[in-house]
């Protein structure tokens, strides 16, 4: 997947005119990129489309027109786009008690995992510190995580092997959950061919 450049983005005026339609397109796109784990955790796998939407919304809400500021935002958010051998995701929570949410998110690294049939579980890592730092002044309801897939996993996924996810946090446990084929098919498009 290619990174985004200023030429990939609409001006505030053009985006305002296209926003409703683009929101609908992104919403439909995200449905095949979201996995709900239990009652309170949603994992959204990011890609060029979802990152473009985030940046367009940021440009609109913060009225960004300065080229340097725009490049700064691109530099922050482009790392959310997968590079062909990984998946990058946003994990959001809907816990009813704030302290549980903060405790879970502070300790989330290594607690959310995925596996491909026949492979050892792979735990998510917090690798997107610059994006996370930008959000640290906001409510801690989400985290950015990354799964660095092995060549074996990529090959198996590209040949139709099933994907599973789970959570093994002491305060929030989700057993091995099978991921729907329509979601796996979409996520495989983020992966490079392995020869």
> What is the residue-averaged pLDDT of the chain?
88
Instruction: Inform me whether the pLDDT recorded for 102 exceeds 80.
Output: no
For 40-92, how does the pLDDT look when each residue is reduced to its tens digit (9 = 90+)?
889 999 999 999 999 999 999 999 888 999 999 999 899 999 999 999 999 88
Q: Confidence band (pLDDT; 50, 70, 90) for 171?
A: confident
CA distance 127 to 191: 18
- Segments making up each domain of the chain, as ranges: 1-31+48-81, 33-47+82-195
Q: What is the pTM of this model?
A: 0.88
Distant-in-sequence, close-in-space partners of 122: CB < 8 Å, separation ≥ 6:
113, 114, 115, 147, 148, 149, 150, 153
pLDDT of residue 12: 95
CATH, domain range 33-47+82-195: 2.60.40
For 124-162, how does the pLDDT look when each residue is reduced to its tens digit (9 = 90+)?
987 665 555 555 545 456 788 999 999 999 999 999 999
CA distance 112 to 143: 12
Q: How far apart are the first and last CA of the chain?
A: 18
């Amino acid at each position: 997947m290619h990174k985004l450049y200023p030429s990939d983005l609409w001006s505030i005026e053009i985006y305002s005119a296209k926003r409703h339609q683009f929101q609908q397109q992104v919403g439909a796109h995200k449905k095949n990129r979201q996995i709900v784990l239990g009652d309170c955790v949603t994992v959204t796998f990011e890609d060029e489309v979802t990152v473009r939407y985030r940046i367009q919304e940021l440009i609109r809400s913060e009225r960004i027109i300065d080229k340097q500021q725009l490049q700064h935002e691109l530099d922050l958010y482009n790392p959310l786009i997968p590079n062909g051998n990984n998946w990058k995701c946003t994990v959001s929570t809907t816990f009813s008690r704030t302290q549980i949410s903060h405790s879970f998110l502070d300790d989330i690294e290594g607690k959310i995992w995925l596996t491909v049939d026949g492979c050892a579980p792979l735990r998510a890592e917090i690798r997107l510190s610059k994006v996370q730092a930008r959000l640290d002044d906001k409510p801690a309801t989400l985290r950015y995580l990354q799964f660095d897939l092995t060549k074996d996993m990529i090959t198996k996924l590209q040949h139709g092997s099933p994907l599973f996810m789970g959570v093994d946090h002491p305060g929030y446990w989700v057993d091995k959950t099978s991921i729907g084929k329509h979601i796996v098919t979409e996520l495989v498009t983020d992966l490079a061919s392995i020869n």
